[in-house]
Amino acid sequence: MDMFLKVIAVVFFVAGAIVVFGSRYIVERFQLYKNSKCEFEDQMNEEEIKQYKTRRAELNIKMFGMLIVLPGIILMLIKFK
């Protein structure tokens, strides 16, 4: 059981790290920037709006990746003492 929890910890950690470091690719591949909202579009030009939406989508993906990494880190702290 101990080895199983160690493997699960590593799997969560690696999966979350892939999501965090691949966030730019994920946003571009699935065009997630189109779903982002910008409250002050009238104050920016088109390029700045696209850049803002892309960065906001990347941040959301990175936060999701960190939520995946968190259980892996906690399990690693407990099991790899």
Task: Give residue-wise pLDDT tens across range 20-72.
Answer: 999 999 999 999 999 988 888 889 999 999 999 999 999 999 999 999 999 99
Cβ partners under 8 Å of residue 52, min gap 6 = 36, 38, 44
Number of Cβ atoms within 10 Å of the Cβ of 70: 13
What's the confidence (pLDDT) of residue 30? 96
What are the sequence ranges of the domains in the chain?
A: 2-79
Range 4-24 burial, b when 16+ CB lie within 10 A, else e: eeeeebeebbeebeebbeebe
Q: Is the pLDDT higher at 59 or at 1?
A: 59
Model-level pTM? 0.89
